[in-house]
Amino acid sequence: MSSLLSIIESPTHPRLSSLYQQLDISEHKVNSIRNALKLLKREAPDFIVAEFFYGYGNNYAGVHISNLDVLLTSLPKYAPTARVIVFVSRPEYQYVEQLNNIYPLHGVLQHPLQQGELEALLN
């Protein structure tokens, strides 16, 4: 059985637990990157799904591109084989490529999410 870490930081993150169950994937849910890092130190998932939020002049600016930088930087140490799938809104889609150039992503899916696209990435 595969395992998946869902990082649900906003209400726009799609609820996909039933899809994961259909695919026989064990899901762990956390509500922040900090909690995700705690979990990664104990257990490395096969997949990580999270939303991408670009750092528009906030505390991410200059050093980090998005909310996911710290997580992705930690993966080689804690979960080197984890495949990361990112959900992104249409206005922020243009920025996700900057992140993908630094930290290769398994997949990038734009809202509104098509479950078939996600299912293909998980198989």
What are the angstrom distances between the C-alpha of 59 and each of 17, 30, 44? Answer: 32, 22, 28
Per-residue pLDDT of the chain in tens (123 residues, 90 and over written 9): 999 999 999 999 999 999 999 999 999 999 999 999 999 999 999 999 999 999 776 554 456 789 999 999 999 999 999 999 999 999 999 999 989 999 999 999 999 999 999 999 999
- Token representation of residue 32: 């922040």
Side chain identity at residue 118, one-letter code: L
Residue whose structure tokens are 């130190």: 41
- Token representation of residue 98: 């900057």
pTM for this model (two decimals): 0.92
CA 12/CA 25 separation, integer angstroms: 22
- The domain covering 2-122 belongs, at the CATH homologous superfamily level, to Response regulator (3.40.50.2300)
